[in-house]
Amino acid sequence: MGKERNGNYFEDFQVGTKITHATPRTLTEGDQSLYVGLTGSRAALYTADTNARQLGFERRPLEDLLVFNVAFGKTVPDISLNAIANLGYSDVRFVAPVYPDDTLAVKSEIIGLKENSSRQSGVVYVRSIATNQYGVEVLTWIRWVMIRKRDSGADCLEKDVPSLDPWVPADHLQWGAYTAAVQNISSATGVGDLWDDYAVGERIVHPGAMAINNSDHSIATRLYQNTAKAHFDEFSAAAAGGQRLVYGGHVISICKALAYDGIENGLSILAINAGSHVNPTYASDTIACATEVIDKFDFDSNYVGGLRLRMIGVKNARPESIEFPGSKLGKVSYPSNVVLDLDYTIAIPKRM
Amino acid sequence: MGKERNGNYFEDFQVGTKITHATPRTLTEGDQSLYVGLTGSRAALYTADTNARQLGFERRPLEDLLVFNVAFGKTVPDISLNAIANLGYSDVRFVAPVYPDDTLAVKSEIIGLKENSSRQSGVVYVRSIATNQYGVEVLTWIRWVMIRKRDSGADCLEKDVPSLDPWVPADHLQWGAYTAAVQNISSATGVGDLWDDYAVGERIVHPGAMAINNSDHSIATRLYQNTAKAHFDEFSAAAAGGQRLVYGGHVISICKALAYDGIENGLSILAINAGSHVNPTYASDTIACATEVIDKFDFDSNYVGGLRLRMIGVKNARPESIEFPGSKLGKVSYPSNVVLDLDYTIAIPKRM
Amino acid sequence: MGKERNGNYFEDFQVGTKITHATPRTLTEGDQSLYVGLTGSRAALYTADTNARQLGFERRPLEDLLVFNVAFGKTVPDISLNAIANLGYSDVRFVAPVYPDDTLAVKSEIIGLKENSSRQSGVVYVRSIATNQYGVEVLTWIRWVMIRKRDSGADCLEKDVPSLDPWVPADHLQWGAYTAAVQNISSATGVGDLWDDYAVGERIVHPGAMAINNSDHSIATRLYQNTAKAHFDEFSAAAAGGQRLVYGGHVISICKALAYDGIENGLSILAINAGSHVNPTYASDTIACATEVIDKFDFDSNYVGGLRLRMIGVKNARPESIEFPGSKLGKVSYPSNVVLDLDYTIAIPKRM
Q: pLDDT digit string (tens) for B242-287?
A: 999 999 999 999 999 999 999 999 999 999 999 999 999 999 999 9
Residue closest to C345 by CA, chosen among C224, C179, C165, C180: C165
**DSSP track, B217-281:** HHHHHHHTT---GGGT-HHHHHHTT--PPPPHHHHHHHHHHHTTTT-TT--EEEEEEEEE--S--
Assess whether pLDDT exceeds 60 at residue B300: yes
Report pLDDT for A325.
85
In chain C, residues with a C-beta closer than 8 Å to the C-beta of A51 are 23-24
Contact C286 B235 (CB under 8 A): yes
pTM over the 0.90 mark = yes
Nearest to C1 among A31, A33, A202 (CB): A202
Report pLDDT for C50.
98
Residue C345 phi/psi, 5° resolution?
A: -125, 130
Report pLDDT for B299.
92
Assess whether pLDDT exceeds 80 at residue B313: yes
Give the nearest chain B residue to A100 (CA atoms): B29
In chain B, residues with a C-beta closer than 8 Å to the C-beta of C202 are 1, 3
Residues 6 or more apart from A327 whose CB is under 8 A from it? Answer: none
pLDDT digit string, tens, across residues C8-38: 999 999 999 999 999 999 999 999 999 999 9
| B186-195, C5-14, C340-349: segment of lowest average pLDDT | C5-14
Give the 3-state secondary structure of residue A308.
strand
| Rounded Cα gap, residues C205 and C194, in angstroms | 17
Confirm if C232 and A210 have CB atoms less than 8 A apart. yes
pLDDT digit string, tens, across residues A120-135: 999 999 999 999 999 9
Confirm if C3 and A204 have CB atoms less than 8 A apart. yes
The residues of C whose Cβ lies within 8 A of any Cβ of A are 1, 3-7, 20-26, 28-31, 33-34, 77, 81, 101, 103, 105, 133, 213-216, 218-223, 225, 227, 229, 232-236, 244
Question: What CA–CA distances, in Å, run from B58 to A24, B27, B181, B188?
Answer: 17, 18, 12, 17
Contact C36 B225 (CB under 8 A): yes
Mean pLDDT of A306-316: 98
Assess whether pLDDT exceeds 80 at residue B1: no
Nearest to C209 among B3, B215, B229 (CB): B229
B341 to chain A nearest CA, in Å? 20
Q: Please report how the helices A64-79 and A214-223 are oriented relative to each other, as an axis angle in degrees rounded to 10.
A: 80
Measured over all CA atoms, what is the biggest interatomic distance in chain A, rounded to whole angstroms? 65
Report pLDDT for C82.
84
When pLDDT is cut at 50, 70 and 90, the band that residue B327 belongs to is: low
| A331-340, C42-51, C233-242: segment of lowest average pLDDT | A331-340
Contact C233 A286 (CB under 8 A): yes
**DSSP track, C93-126:** EE-S---TT-EEEEEEEEEEEEE-TTSSEEEEEE
Assess whether pLDDT exceeds 80 at residue C155: no
Assess whether pLDDT exceeds 90 at residue C352: no
| Rounded Cα gap, residues B50 and B56, in angstroms | 10
Give start and end residues of each alpha helix (H) in A102-247: 185-189, 214-223, 234-239
State the complex-level ipTM. Answer: 0.96
**DSSP track, B34-47:** HHHHHH----HHHH
| A119-123, C120-124, C154-158, C191-195: segment of lowest average pLDDT | C154-158
Question: What CA–CA distances, in Å, run from B48 to A68, A102, B68, C244, C351?
Answer: 17, 9, 20, 39, 48
Mean pLDDT of A94-106: 98
A131 to chain B nearest CA, in Å? 12
C65 to chain A nearest CA, in Å? 16
Confirm if C52 and C61 have CB atoms less than 8 A apart. yes
Report pLDDT for B154.
77
Summary mean pLDDT of chain C: 95
Contact C33 A28 (CB under 8 A): no
Report pLDDT for C272.
98
When pLDDT is cut at 50, 70 and 90, the band that residue B85 belongs to is: confident
Give the 3-state secondary structure of residue A156.
coil
Summary mean pLDDT of chain A: 95
Report pLDDT for B151.
87
| Rounded Cα gap, residues A70 and A66, in angstroms | 6
Report pLDDT for A71.
98
Residues 6 or more apart from B44 whose CB is under 8 A from it? Answer: A22, A23, B51, B55, B185, B188, B189, B264, B265, B267
Nearest to B219 among C38, C206, C214 (CB): C38
Give the nearest chain C residue to A54 (CA atoms): C24
Measured over all CA atoms, what is the biggest interatomic distance in chain C, rounded to whole angstroms? 66
Report pLDDT for A142.
97
pLDDT digit string, tens, across residues A231-254: 999 999 999 999 999 999 999 999
Residue closest to A322 by CA, chosen among A348, A340, A347, A303: A340
In chain B, residues with a C-beta closer than 8 Å to the C-beta of A22 are 42, 44, 188-191, 264
Report pLDDT for A256.
98
| Rounded Cα gap, residues A10 and A82, in angstroms | 9
pLDDT digit string, tens, across residues B191-207: 999 999 999 999 999 99
| Rounded Cα gap, residues A32 and C128, in angstroms | 27
Residue closest to C37 by CA, chosen among B64, B39, A71, B244: B39
| Rounded Cα gap, residues C155 and A66, in angstroms | 47
A179: left (phi over 0), alpha (psi -120 to 50) or beta: beta
Contact B30 A25 (CB under 8 A): no
Give the nearest chain C residue to A263 (CA atoms): C3
Assess whether pLDDT exceeds 70 at residue A163: yes
A10 to chain B nearest CA, in Å? 18
C37 to chain A nearest CA, in Å? 11
> Buried (b) or exposed (e) across B88-105, using 16+ Cβ within 10 A?
bbbbbbbbbbbbbebbbb
Which of A19, A82, A222 has the most B C-beta neighbours within 10 Å, making it the best mutation to test the interface with B? A222
Confirm if A269 and A64 have CB atoms less than 8 A apart. yes
Residue closest to A193 by CA, chosen among A40, A58, A346: A346
Mean pLDDT of C178-201: 97
pLDDT digit string, tens, across residues A55-99: 999 999 999 999 999 999 999 999 998 888 888 999 999 999 999
C222 to chain A nearest CA, in Å? 4
Confirm if C11 and A30 have CB atoms less than 8 A apart. no
In chain C, residues with a C-beta closer than 8 Å to the C-beta of B225 are 36, 40, 42, 47
Beta bridge partners of B85: B146
Measured over all CA atoms, what is the biggest interatomic distance in chain B, rounded to whole angstroms? 66
Give the nearest chain C residue to A195 (CA atoms): C1
H, E, C per residue of C256-313: HHHCCCCCCCCCEEEEEEEEECCCCCCCCCEEEEEEEEEEEECCCCCCEEEEEEEEEE
Give the nearest chain A residue to C243 (CA atoms): A211
User: Structural domains in chain C?
Assistant: 10-152+160-349 (3.10.129.10)
Q: CA end-to-end span of chain B, whole Å? A: 66
Beta bridge partners of A106: A130
| Rounded Cα gap, residues B14 and B8, in angstroms | 11
Report pLDDT for B157.
64
Contact A29 B30 (CB under 8 A): yes
Contact C222 A40 (CB under 8 A): yes
Nearest to A40 among C6, C225, C234 (CB): C225
Assess whether pLDDT exceeds 80 at residue A154: no
Residues 6 or more apart from A53 whose CB is under 8 A from it? Answer: none
Residue closest to C248 by CA, chosen among C35, C34, C73: C73
In chain C, residues with a C-beta closer than 8 Å to the C-beta of B134 are none
Assess whether pLDDT exceeds 60 at residue B241: yes
Confirm if B147 and B269 have CB atoms less than 8 A apart. no
Burial of A279 (0-12, 13-18, 19+ CB in 10 A): middle
In chain A, residues with a C-beta closer than 8 Å to the C-beta of C220 are 37
Contact B48 A26 (CB under 8 A): yes
pLDDT digit string, tens, across residues C125-148: 999 999 999 999 999 999 999 999
Quote the percentage of chain A above a pLDDT of 90. 89
Nearest to C222 among A36, A48, A193 (CB): A36
Mean pLDDT of C198-226: 98
Angle at C70 between CA C65 and CA C75, to 5 degrees: 125
Assess whether pLDDT exceeds 90 at residue B83: no
| Rounded Cα gap, residues B131 and B127, in angstroms | 13
Contact B216 A213 (CB under 8 A): no
| A261-270, B39-48, B126-135, C331-340: segment of lowest average pLDDT | C331-340
Beta bridge partners of C128: C108, C141
Give start and end residues of each alpha helix (H) in chain C: 29-39, 44-47, 49-54, 64-79, 185-189, 214-223, 234-239, 248-258
Nearest to A23 among B48, B202, B284 (CB): B48
